[in-house]
Amino acid sequence: MTQTDMPHRRRNLLTGEWLLVSPHRAKRPWQGEAAALAALRPPTHEPSCHLCPGNTRAGGEVNPDYAGTFVFANDFPALLGEDGPAQPIQDPFETMPASGEARVICFAPDHGATLARLESSELERVIATWCDLSAELGKRWAHVQLFENKGAMMGASSPHPHGQVWASDFIPELVERENRRQREWFEAKGTVLLSDVAAAELAASERVIEVNAHWLAVVPHWAAWPFETLLVARGDVRRIEDLSVEARAALAEILAQVLRRYDELFDNDMPYSMGWHGAPHGLGDDTAHWRLHAHILPPLLRSATVRKHMVGFELLAETQRDLTPESAAERLRSVVITR
């Protein structure tokens, strides 16, 4: 075996966690689950869809006949605007109240659209909506989490193109871990962790998928999911609402390219979870260690029907992957975009 075929561990610099890479296992035969292929492109309007313009939602509200993005309060929010009742402390267990608010973001009125299929102007409108929501909710809440779950495989409740925003009075565990690691790096080295990572990735080039003046898209050195992508702002941008007009346009360009590569990879609408991490608003102005970035996490492994499962060793010991990040990046780079 060559060195690249040998098992080894890599550290996620953003979280401090280790993962096991086992490249030789990519050759093993597969007789596990093969999911059904996704249906053909949905119609532009679906009468039974709760998110299409003019339709009635599950909560009884009627959607307006919207033409661009449409944002509304989630009818079934995970967080409520007021704290729940105080919980008695029962040693050794710990609880704490949690409050916040959740909204749904319809990206477009077209039921059959996806972010990858939107025109540049439509995608820029989605980005502007993300920026506006982060700025608005960040005035009241400690953290604003923008995300999209795309596809039934990722648990999306509707195929209509949409995402969500959850704002909370606490900084969630994963974001706090990233905050701590970035702060430690900044205090020890005097540089921004993701700025150093971006420079190293550009120098190595083997994991780079797309790059422009404002953004870098890579399969990160520590990627856990087979075709995971890290999208990093190249300038000193700490929150999404801080993006310049030029950076927003450049984001629309690179995000469309990455998502179209995903769709062409296995000739299907690639499912994924995507979310933005910026400096939590609860930090105030103490954000010099932060760099805005997004994680895109698709579950597919070998084809449109074979996915990666986080089970066994991954659940009980440590994250593990077979396909190396370098191989994944090469496969994404080699995709010829036709859509």
How many Å apart are CA 145 and CA 208, to the nearest integer?
26
268 pairs with which residues across the strands? none
Q: Which residues contact 227 (CB under 8 A, 6 or more apart)?
A: 219, 262, 265, 298, 300, 328, 331, 332
Picking from 15, 289, 291, the residue whose alpha carbon sits closest to that of residue 178 is 15
On whether the pTM is more than 0.85, the answer is: yes
How many Å apart are CA 169 and CA 167, to the nearest integer?
7
pLDDT values of the chain reduced to their tens digit, one per residue, 339 residues: 454 678 999 999 999 999 999 987 766 554 455 555 555 678 999 999 999 999 999 889 999 999 999 999 999 999 998 766 666 677 788 888 899 999 999 999 999 999 999 999 999 999 999 999 999 999 999 999 999 999 988 888 899 999 999 999 999 999 999 999 999 999 999 999 999 999 999 999 999 999 999 999 999 999 999 999 999 999 999 999 999 999 999 999 999 999 999 999 999 999 999 999 999 999 999 999 999 999 999 999 888 888 888 889 999 999 999 999 999 999 999 999 886
Q: Which residues are catalytic?
A: 162
DSSP string computed for 162-202: EEEEEEESS--HHHHHHHHHHHHHHHHHSS-HHHHHHHHHH
How many Å apart are CA 332 and CA 326, to the nearest integer?
10
- What domains sit in the chain, N to C, each tagged with a CATH number? 42-81+96-333 (3.30.428.10)
Pairing of β 319-321 and β 18-21: parallel
* Rounded to 5°, angle at Cα 232 from 330 and 78: 110
Picking from 144, 152, 49, the residue whose alpha carbon sits closest to that of residue 106 is 49
Altogether, the residues listed in the chain come to a count of 339
